[in-house]
Amino acid sequence: MPESIIRLRDISKVYEEDIAALCDVSLDVMEKDFVSIVGRSGSGKTTLIKLLIGEEKPTAGEIVINGWDLCNIKSRKIPYFRREIGVVFQDFKLLQQKTVAENIAFALIVLGTPRQEIHKRVPGVLSLVGLSGKGTRFPNELSGGEQQRVAIARAFVHEPKLLLADELTGDLDAIYAWEIMEILLKINKMGTTVLIATHDKSIVNRLQKRVVTLEDGTIIRDHKKGRYVI
Ligand SMILES: Nc1ncnc2c1ncn2[C@@H]1O[C@H](COP(=O)(O)OP(=O)(O)OP(=O)(O)O)[C@@H](O)[C@H]1O
Ligand SMILES: [Mg+2]
């Protein structure tokens, strides 16, 4: 039986100056699910992702991710929690002085992975994202879409149980955006739960997966095989 890997109960997030970004959000995501979070600019998508990775704390409510109670987690435990998740940010956050392979390897080095294991995993994940042979390039020698693939490879190289991505395909042409989605679908088929926040209507409609719609910080729609309706 699949279990709930994301469990949110009555989450609210109020930033300073009384900006309520999320209000009474409850959400369950089952293991191996693929979920798109959609909503207008400012509806709270990025805030939700920040709460899911422990980068922000909720003002109220309960968050349990893969068994970790993020409202009560000790800061020394956060690195252990982070091993179980992978995150792709909109701006990739690639290290410009390191090659593609070094960028990916670095994610494993910080987790204390043995060198032999790193040598094995990096080519495997490069092939998964369609970048075999480009490991020795530097990020500025790649297209935007290729840099995105590196960011996915880096987020997935430790084979997390949950992969989160914020506006992954924002700046890409439709055809490249769908290729990126196909990588996420492959990763999902391998058993990783995937949650993306996106504005990309055609992608969401083509995915035919669960769609959760946020409006002004609350969930207004949650459909199993949803369409993008805002
Ligand atoms: N660090 C912050 N401090 C104060 N307010 C914030 C902060 N981050 C976000 N907000 C506010 O919280 C609300 C939700 O923002 P959020 O970034 O989560 O929206 P979003 O759905 O990701 O928008 P977009 O589609 O533009 O990325 C907005 O009103 C935003 O201005
Ligand atoms: Mg955002």
Which ligand is nearest to the Cα of residue 37, counting in written order? 1
Which residues contact ligand 1 via a Cβ below 6 A? 15, 19, 21, 39, 41-47
Of the candidates 141, 142, 78, the one whose C-alpha atom is nearest the C-alpha of residue 110 is 78
* Atom number in ligand 1 closest to CA 40: 25
Which H/E stretch holds residue 124?
helix 115-128
Return the pLDDT at 170: 73
Query: Whose alpha carbon is nearest atom 3 of ligand 1?
Result: 15
Return the pLDDT at 2: 67
What percent of the chain is helix, strand and coil (3-state, nearest 5)? Answer: 35, 30, 35
Q: Which stretches in the chain have pLDDT values below 70?
A: 1-2
Return the pLDDT at 177: 87
Q: How far is the CA of 218 from the centre of ligand 1 (A)?
A: 13
Query: Candidates 12, 19, 212: which one to mutate for ligand 1, based on the most atoms within 8 Å of Cβ?
Result: 19
* pTM for the model: 0.95
Of the candidates 192, 129, 197, 196, the one whose C-alpha atom is nearest the C-alpha of residue 162 is 192
Tens digits of residue pLDDT in 152-191: 999 999 999 999 999 887 777 878 889 999 999 999 999 9
Domains in the chain, please, with CATH?
Answer: 1-84+163-230 (3.40.50.300), 93-159 (no CATH)
How far is it, in rounded angstroms, from Cα 5 to Cα 86? 14
Q: What is the DSSP letter of 32?
A: T
